[in-house]
Amino acid sequence: MRCRPAPPAFAALDLGTNNCRLLVGAPSGDGFRVLDSFSRIVRLGEGLHHTGRLSPCAMDRAIVALHGCAARLARRPVRAVRAIATEACRRAANGAEFLARAQSETGLHIDVISTREEAELALESCAPLLRDGGRRALLFDIGGGSTELAWVRLPDGDEAPQLIGYVSLPVGVVTVAERFGAAGHTPQGFRAMVEDVASRLRPFEQVHCIGQEIRHGGVRLLGTSGTVTTLAGIVLDLPRYSRPAVDGAVLSRADADAALACLRALGREGLAQHPCIGPERAEFVLPGCAIFAAIHRTWPAPEVVVADRGLREGMLLRMIRAERARAQRPRRPTAAPLAGMPRPA
């Protein structure tokens, strides 16, 4: 009995301001089955806010992680690989130089994507969580160097959600942590972080009047980032982080506010020791909470949908769809030879 060939594998790599993440998946139903994943905190954007450049130590950490990704890809045949970089490489004066070095040393070609594509990829990955969710959705992605907001029209049928407007704000957990430092752990400093972010959200609100739409009902607030997944872990009282428990969880406004208060009360030591956080992420938790608090204050939706998915998942879905479209495309028939012309041997 002949064995069926394994489905093709696809790989997506996301080099962000704080993390380097790889995801390998094979098509399965409307989505994919995860074959391999890798995530490492590299802090590529460390010091970028002050110098405008990627530091040698930060670049070296990222190169080590990229070598690890390249080694994993070498062990598994993949049909296609997409590798992207986001805010740190967009902003850094030596971003292009670093990516050229990364390709030379690891063989990985990494594209710097636009802020719009970043919002579109996040929306693509989170679209299944927005089905039967109302008229509109506000998706936010709190990253290391930036925060993306996508204002989305939700269709009645099986059509894909439509992007009405988007914005990328230059505030992420790393940039806010570097700007406010230890002061961000004080009550006054936390309030200052929230107000700083809230002031940046107001122009987007003035254009789209999202608050008014929320008051009328039918608007979903969806967050995809380490910040909102951590809040979900607190609300669910998880002994350790669990993606299946968190992805798709719905937090009430009261529960989200209580989780914020809990994290703020832990202090630095408590954050480092918490099983859903750990020492590597401890200094970025409160800056992320401040960004979330500003979003939640500006757009007080009654619930927040939590997504543990993002750019990598969006890239995989795009590659799988493109592969299926190529397979379904009819082949052009070979032209018959003209009468009296000899057929090729």
Say yes or no: 201 and 156 in one domain: yes
Q: Answer yes or no: is 317 within a domain.
A: no
Say yes or no: 138 and 182 in one domain: yes
Q: What is the pLDDT of residues 124-146, one digit of tens each?
A: 999 889 887 689 999 999 999 99
Say yes or no: 189 and 280 in one domain: yes
Please answer whether residues 62 and 42 qualify as being in contact, where contact means their C-beta atoms are separated by less than 8 angstroms. Answer: yes
Please give the span between the terminal C-alpha atoms of the chain, in angstroms, as a whole number: 37
The token duo for 156 is 């009645």
Say yes or no: 178 and 78 in one domain: no
Say yes or no: 168 and 214 in one domain: yes
Q: What is the pLDDT of residues 54-98, one digit of tens each?
A: 999 999 999 999 999 999 999 988 999 999 999 999 999 999 999
Q: Answer yes or no: is 53 within a domain.
A: yes
Instruction: Give the mean pLDDT of the chain.
Output: 90
Say yes or no: 193 and 223 in one domain: yes
Can you state the angle between helices 282-298 and 226-235, rounded to 10 degrees? 90
Q: Answer yes or no: is 342 within a domain.
A: no
Look at residue 273 and give its three-state secondary structure: helix
pLDDT at 342 over 50: no
Say yes or no: 182 and 235 in one domain: yes
Q: 38-71 in b/e burial notation, b at 16+ Cβ within 10 A?
A: bebbbbbbbebbeeebbbeebbebbbebbeebbe
Please tell me which residue, 183 or 207, carries the higher pLDDT value.
207
Please tell me which residue, 336 or 158, carries the higher pLDDT value.
158
Say yes or no: 143 and 225 in one domain: yes
Say yes or no: 153 and 295 in one domain: yes
Domain span including residue 34: 10-113
**CATH of residue 194:** 3.30.420.150
Say yes or no: 83 and 149 in one domain: no
**CATH of residue 46:** 3.30.420.40
Q: Find tokens 């122009």 and name the residue.
A: 203
Closest CA to 24 of 40, 38, 11, 7: 11
Please answer whether residues 13 and 21 qualify as being in contact, where contact means their C-beta atoms are separated by less than 8 angstroms. Answer: yes
Say yes or no: 140 and 103 in one domain: no
Please answer whether residues 157 and 165 qualify as being in contact, where contact means their C-beta atoms are separated by less than 8 angstroms. Answer: no
Number of structural domains in the chain: 2
Q: From CA 54, how far away is CA 91, in angstroms rounded? A: 9
According to DSSP H, which parts of 241-310 are helical?
243-246, 253-273, 282-298
| Beta strands at 147-153 and 162-169: parallel, antiparallel or unpaired | antiparallel
Q: Answer yes or no: is 323 within a domain.
A: no
